[in-house]
Amino acid sequence: MKTAFVTGSTGLLGSNLVRLLASRGVRVKALVRSPEKARKLLAGVPVELIEGDLGNVESFAPAMRDTDVLFHTAAYFRDSYKGGSHAAGLMRINVEGTRALLGGGVPVRRAEGGAHQLHRRAGAPPEPPAHRRDDAA
């Protein structure tokens, strides 16, 4: 059985990816900042919750051992309307955290191509679902 390590597991993309992988028989290790939130959001999904934060990759790096693939879906972001300076947080998590994560010993494969190819490589169905604009007749 393959093992996947997923960051951002309680986000929109990450939580859906965790469900998809688990439904396909993949063992999932889900990085979460809040285990309580993750237990509610991922209730009924066979997943191993790994508590941690991209600001301190060393604290959860041992859990990445014996992992076949890393899905990095976590990111620090703030809505622009909230104001304030978030540059330091963006740099610390999105740049420095990602660098530390990629140095964690999990084999990394560079994905090339468009979104459709990435969709297929993530284990999703061969064809992405058709989308319809709400204003289309």
CA distance 135 to 127: 23
The whole model's pTM is what?
Answer: 0.72
What confidence score (pLDDT) does residue 133 get? 46
Token match 């396909």: residue?
24
Q: Within 10 Å of residue 86's Cβ, how many Cβ atoms? A: 15
pLDDT for position 25: 96
CATH number attached to the domain at 3-78+87-104: 3.40.50.720
Residue with tokens 């859906």: 16
Residue 92's pLDDT is: 79
- Residue holding tokens 């993309």? 13
Give 95-126 pLDDT, tens digit per residue.
Answer: 888 888 887 666 555 555 444 444 445 455 45
Tens of pLDDT along 80-93?
A: 556 667 778 777 78
pLDDT surpassing 90 at residue 135: no
In this model, does residue 74 exceed pLDDT 90? no
**Res. 28 pLDDT band, cuts 50 70 90:** very high
Instruction: Show me where the domains of the chain are located.
Output: 3-78+87-104
CA distance linking residue 127 with residue 116, whole number of Å: 8
* Helix-then-strand count for the chain, H and E: 5, 4
Mean pLDDT, rounded, for 55-60: 88
The pLDDT, as a whole number, for residue 83 is 64
